[in-house]
Every structure is written in structure tokens, then in C-alpha cells.
């Protein structure tokens, strides 16, 4: 097995082309190294992508841009993600409760993993786009299409993730994230993210209600039923409770860790809690 640490994107692309599906980009290496028994045999080349200048958080007119190798702790602590309309990203990063892993794990890595993780749930709630690069150029794909199944993403041979783009939400938008786990250091048993925008009259003009980490489809999913309940309504206790009850259109897995029934109950609780938080944030102009 070969190891490379390119400093230019073009060099990284050449290596990805050369090794095809035997090429493994390595960012924080927390997933790769904790699954090394399964993963090393299939790897002909590991390509360190941490020196490609993909470590940044920037705010443009069209929203927030987070480079693929930006770490969880950088997202957790950054002024652009810590407060204001993108605070759900810091909230979510902080739910990985181990400081040492937050210093290593990257946003590009966590979305590529497509398993029992938290960030993709929040990114789907934010309607984020994933910017992908290869020797053929760059393309953007919606978070809703990036995960194609459990541990399976939409990257094609020769491609890597360059950036996550979180579109600028309308004024009066708020979001919330909730995670259910057995101990503070656990992976999520299920998680929930909600994202709501209010119009001038205070009615809900946009809503995304997402559950992830343990859906039957293996990818984070939006609850069409819960969103339909919210749209056009005033987000009060009654509406929150009916939206939460409607969220059981998302089916969860039943496994040795928790039954599907309990997971679905947690989704309902998570939708209720995060909607309260999202609505409160939206009413404060999305700046809290």
C-alpha cells in the first residue's frame, strides 16, 4: 500500500484517477483507523487530504462554506457556527462528546461515512449542498441525494468531497438538533434535526423535519407528514405536538441496541424538543 500527502488538488485528483477504487482519501482517519481490519486490505493507496487547503469556514452572500477537512472542534468553536443562524452546526458537532475525536474528525469524513452519525441529519435539515471535485471538474449535489444507502455515498470513482455549502436561510429561521444515545460517548441510536422559517405574520413558511442515524432506509430522512402539519401554521404547542405525532412516517430500524418502537418514540420526542428550540430561535430573528 502506498501513502501520499499531496499539497495540490490536481495532484490529489491524479492519484484518485490512478488508483481508482483502491484509492482512499484520509482526513481525520477516525473512521478509517477504527475499521482498519476491514478497510486496509482493499486499499492500494491512502491519500492524506489535510494539506489541500480545505480547512476553512467562510460566510458569503449565498451562505456558509465549510471546507471538507474542517474538524468538528473547529465547527464547534467558530464564531460563524457557534451563534446565529448556523448554530445547529456547532450544536451537532458538540454532540460528539469526545474532545480528542472532535480534534480529528472532519465534516467531509462524517458525511462520507453515511452511517450512525449526526452531522448529515442536521445538514439535510439545512438543505446543504455537497461540493465534489475530480479531474473532470466540480459538481454540487444536494445532501438529500448524497447518501444513497447505509455506508454508501454518491461519490464516483476519482471523486472527493471538497466542501459543504449551507445556503443562507431566510430571516426568521431557526433550527434545533437532538441526539439519543446510551452514554455521552456513544454514537447516536437515533437523532433528529428540525429547521423552520417564519413569514412576516409569524406563520411557518418553510419546514424541514429530519430523523437520521437509524432509519430503515439507512439515510437521514425528512418527514413529509410532519412538515405538512407545520407549513402555514403558527408554531404553538398544539402544532408542535401534532407535527411530532406525524413524524412517525419515518421508519426506524429494529436492532439489538434499541427496538424500532422506542426509536420512533424518541424521534417524536426529538421533533417536539427541537421544534420548540427552532421556533424560539426563529422568533428571535435567527440570530440566537
Partner 1 sequence: MNAISLKINNEGYDVPVKPHWSLAYVIREKIGLTGTKAGCEMGTCGSCTLLLDGKPIFSCLRMAIDAQGSDIRTIEGLEEENDGELHPLQEAFIQDHGMQCGFCTPGMILAAKHLLDHNPDPTEQQVREAIGGHLCRCGTYVRIVKAIMNAAETMRNAQATQ
Ligand X SMILES: Cc1cc2nc3c(=O)[nH]c(=O)nc-3n(C[C@H](O)[C@H](O)[C@H](O)COP(=O)(O)OP(=O)(O)OC[C@H]3O[C@@H](n4cnc5c(N)ncnc54)[C@H](O)[C@@H]3O)c2cc1C
Binder to ligand X among 64, 96, 175, 235 (CB under 6 A)? 96
Binder to partner 1 among 38, 42, 100, 201 (CB under 8 A)? 100
Q: Report the partner that residue 3 touches, choosing among ligand X, partner 1, none (CB closer than 5 to 8 A by kind).
A: partner 1
Residue 228 within binding range of ligand X, rule CB under 6 A:
no
Quote the cell numbers at residue 47. Answer: 491519500
- In the shown chain, the binding pattern of residues 179 to 198 toward partner 1, with x for contact by CB under 8 A and - for none, equals -----xx-------------
Q: What angle do CA 18, 24, 30 make, to 5 degrees?
A: 165
Residue 55 within binding range of ligand X, rule CB under 6 A:
no
Residue 30 within binding range of ligand X, rule CB under 6 A:
yes
Q: Minimal distance in Å, beta carbon 116 to partner 1?
A: 14
Taking the CA atoms of 137, 142, 145 and 151 in sequence, report the sign of the dihedral they define: positive
Quote the cell numbers at residue 34. Answer: 477504527
Residue 33 within binding range of partner 1, rule CB under 8 A:
yes
Size of residue set near partner 1 by CB under 8 A: 25
Residue 215 within binding range of ligand X, rule CB under 6 A:
no
Binder to ligand X among 66, 88, 117, 193 (CB under 6 A)? 117
Write out the DSSP string of 82-137: HSGGGHHHHHHHHTS--HHHHTT-BHHHHHHH-SS-SHHHHHHHTT-EEEEEETTE
Residue 109 within binding range of ligand X, rule CB under 6 A:
yes
Q: Which residue is nearest to ligand X (CB)?
A: 109
Q: Minimal distance in Å, beta carbon 27 to partner 1?
A: 10
Binder to partner 1 among 7, 20, 21, 36 (CB under 8 A)? 36
Size of the chain, expressed as the number of residues it contains: 288
- Cα separation of 60 and 83, whole Å? 16
- Note whether 16 and 160 are within 8 A (CB): yes
Burial-class residue 262 by CB neighbours within 10 Å (0-12, 13-18, 19+).
middle
- Note whether 132 and 141 are within 8 A (CB): yes
- What DSSP state is assigned to residue 168? P
Residue 2 within binding range of partner 1, rule CB under 8 A:
yes
- What DSSP state is assigned to residue 218? S
List contacts with partner 1 (CB under 8 A): 1-3, 5, 26, 28-30, 33-34, 36, 40, 46, 48, 50, 73, 97-101, 103-104, 184-185
Amino acid at each position: 500500500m502506498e501513502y501520499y500527502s499531496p499539497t495540490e488538488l490536481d495532484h490529489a485528483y491524479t492519484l484518485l484517477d490512478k488508483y481508482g477504487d483502491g484509492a482512499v482519501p484520509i482526513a481525520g482517519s477516525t473512521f478509517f483507523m477504527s475499521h482498519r481490519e476491514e478497510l486496509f486490505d482493499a486499499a492500494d493507496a491512502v491519500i492524506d487530504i489535510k494539506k489541500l487547503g480545505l480547512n476553512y469556514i467562510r460566510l458569503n452572500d449565498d451562505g456558509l462554506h465549510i471546507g471538507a477537512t474542517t474538524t468538528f472542534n473547529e465547527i464547534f468553536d467558530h464564531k460563524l457556527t457557534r451563534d446565529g443562524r448556523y448554530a445547529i452546526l456547532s450544536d451537532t458537532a458538540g454532540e460528539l462528546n469526545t474532545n480528542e475525536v472532535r480534534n480529528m474528525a472532519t465534516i467531509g469524513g462524517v458525511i462520507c461515512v453515511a452511517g450512525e452519525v449526526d452531522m448529515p441529519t442536521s445538514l439535510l435539515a439545512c438543505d446543504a449542498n455537497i461540493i465534489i471535485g475530480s479531474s473532470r471538474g466540480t459538481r454540487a449535489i444536494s445532501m438529500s441525494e448524497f447518501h444513497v444507502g447505509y455506508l454508501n455515498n454518491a461519490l464516483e470513482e476519482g471523486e472527493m468531497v471538497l466542501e459543504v455549502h449551507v445556503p443562507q436561510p431566510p430571516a426568521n429561521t431557526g433550527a434545533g438538533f437532538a441526539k439519543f444515545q446510551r452514554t455521552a460517548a456513544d454514537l447516536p441510536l437515533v437523532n433528529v434535526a428540525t429547521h423552520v422559517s417564519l413569514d412576516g405574520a409569524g406563520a411557518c413558511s418553510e419546514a424541514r423535519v429530519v430523523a437520521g442515524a437509524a432509519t430503515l432506509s439507512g439515510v437521514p430522512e425528512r418527514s413529509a407528514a410532519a412538515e405538512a402539519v407545520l407549513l402555514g401554521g403558527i408554531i404553538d404547542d398544539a402544532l408542535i405536538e401534532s407535527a411530532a405525532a406525524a413524524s412517525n412516517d419515518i421508519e426506524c430500524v429494529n436492532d439489538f441496541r434499541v427496538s424500532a418502537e422506542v426509536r420512533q418514540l424518541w424521534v417524536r420526542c426529538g421533533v417536539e424538543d427541537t421544534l420548540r428550540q427552532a421556533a424560539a430561535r426563529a422568533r428571535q430573528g435567527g440570530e440566537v
